[in-house]
Structure 1
Amino acid sequence: MILLTGFEPFGGETTNPSWTAVRHAAGVLRAEGLEVATVELPCVFGDSLAALDAALREHRPDLVVCAGQAGGRTGISLERVAINCDDARIPDNAGNAPVDEPVLPDAPAVYFGTLPVKAALQELRRRGIPSEVSQTAGTYVCNHVFFGLMHALRGEPGIRGGFVHVPFGPDQVQAGSGAASLPLEQMGEALAVVVRTSLATTTDLKLAAGAIH
């Protein structure tokens, strides 16, 4: 079982491309014979983790790929590490705005995702999909969910999980703004690529995809 999650709209937007991409990816993967569950998470600190935990208990997945929107990024971001810090620049959809609070008290400072991000990067680039390995998932609800996911999976070595950020969708970008976007179908295909690569790859590739700042 594969679990894919995206988010509801936030920050005044009426859509969230992560959820659209998740639904597209699920349709593609189901057509290939894979069993896929999808969950739209609330963009709310705390509530998002409760919804994720409920989905993990209900579906008992072997692979979990969570997705979120990172407006301003130019392509698909394969997140490497989640940090135990909530620091909200804007309130979430329930008005919460934690500053310098732990995602989970008494948990480690960081968790690394367990998806083969380098192998996925290679395959995404081979298909011409703009992509990168990202060293930060931010400190908003996306990182909150990524950290909570990896904490939940810490005692489940047979379950792999991680987080993928997608940029704005074309419908969110005003003409002349200069903001980057990707077609929603391409974002969905990117998530499907991450799933396929994760199912086929037991040991990640060792290739340079770091950052100097």
Structure 2
Amino acid sequence: MHTVLLTGFEPFDKDPINPSWEAVRRLDGVQLSEDAQIVARQLPCAFATVGACLTQMIDELRPTMVIATGLGPGRSAISVERVAINVNDARIPDNLGEQPVDTPVLADGPAAYFSTLPIKAMVKAVHEAGIAASVSQTAGTFVCNQVFYLLQHALAGTGVRSGFIHVPYLPEQVVDTGQPSMALLTMVEGLRVAVCAAWETGVDLAETGGQVS
């Protein structure tokens, strides 16, 4: 049986829930094919410990594919990330109170890693399911980007495809704030469709997903 590891984050910044984990945990055990299923795991929102947790999960599960997810405040769509950069620049402290500024994720690592997922095919599939989705050109500079970078570094050259998806707030998190959100059931279905497309697509689509600015 092939395992697709799907991760979400614990709550952070004094919020009682994190939509990435709320959505991901509902996909635990979902079959992608006769010989492949999703295994959901939660990651800590902490620069100092998240790398070791991610490594432990990969060593334990030996997944065929890994997709990490996180909250993207202010986003209105399922955002499939293109690139992780080698910098930590935290706007707020993490859950251990750490707030690195302009430090590398890995001192000797390359400037960036690209997703090895079929990001355009994933976005198209989610669109076709009637759910908002887009290719994102930045995963930020907080723990989400760190996880994305460490994931790509760990799996580089292994043949295990991997990447990162940001999800919006849940409606109950942004009442009276005017910030965009997405219903939980919509988010769950969007992630399921995206993961299925990633699993089923060997060569990505050659169509635009860029931005002017």
Q: Normalization by structure 2: what TM-score?
A: 0.95
Code of the residue aligned with 1:205 in structure 2: it is: L
1:165 maps to what in 2? 166
1:86-105 correspondence runs (5 A):
86-105=88-107
Displacement, 1:32? 6.2
1:168-183 correspondence runs (5 A):
168-174=169-175, 176-183=176-183
- CA deviation string 1:124-171 (max 9, x = no partner): 1111111110000000000000000000001312x1000000000122
Q: How far apart, in 2, do the equivalents of 1:67 and 1:16 lie?
A: 10
Displacement, 1:54? 0.3
Displacement, 1:25? 2.4
In the alignment, structure 1 residue 195 sits paired with structure 2 residue 195: yes
Task: Indicate how the Cα distance of structure 1 residues 31 and 211 shifts in structure 2: closer, same or farther if over 3 A, else same.
Answer: closer
Task: Indicate how the Cα distance of structure 1 residues 199 and 31 shifts in structure 2: closer, same or farther if over 3 A, else same.
Answer: closer
Q: How far apart, in 2, do the equivalents of 1:30 and 1:9 lie?
A: 27
Task: Indicate how the Cα distance of structure 1 residues 32 and 20 shifts in structure 2: closer, same or farther if over 3 A, else same.
Answer: farther
Q: Which runs of 5+ in 2 are unaligned?
A: none
2:80/2:123 contact within 8 Å kept: yes
Q: Normalization by structure 1: what TM-score?
A: 0.95
Structure 1 runs of 4+ off > 3 angstroms? 30-34
2:61 maps to what in 1? 59
Q: Which runs of 5+ in 1 are unaligned?
A: none
Q: How far apart, in 1, do the equivalents of 2:123 and 2:32 lie?
A: 23
1:13-92 correspondence runs (5 A):
13-27=15-29, 29-30=30-31, 34-92=36-94
Q: How far apart, in 1, do the equivalents of 2:56 and 2:40 lie?
A: 12
Displacement, 1:38? 1.6
2:32/2:38 contact within 8 Å kept: no
Q: How far apart, in 2, do the equivalents of 1:203 and 1:63 lie?
A: 15
Q: How far apart, in 1, do the equivalents of 2:22 and 2:83 lie?
A: 24
Q: How far apart, in 1, do the equivalents of 2:181 and 2:42 lie?
A: 21
Aligned-partner SS, 2:79: strand
Displacement, 1:31? 8.3
1:184 maps to what in 2? 184
2:83/2:115 contact within 8 Å kept: yes
Aligned-partner SS, 2:24: helix
Q: How far apart, in 2, do the equivalents of 1:5 and 1:102 lie?
A: 23
1:23/1:188 contact within 8 Å kept: no
Task: Indicate how the Cα distance of structure 1 residues 99 and 79 shifts in structure 2: closer, same or farther if over 3 A, else same.
Answer: same
1:3 maps to what in 2? 5
- Work out the number of aligned pairs and report it: 210
Identity fraction in percent: 48
Choose between structure 1 and 2: higher strand proportion. 2
In the alignment, structure 1 residue 207 sits paired with structure 2 residue 202: no
Aligned-partner SS, 2:205: coil
Q: How far apart, in 2, do the equivalents of 1:120 and 1:30 lie?
A: 17
Aligned-partner SS, 1:100: strand
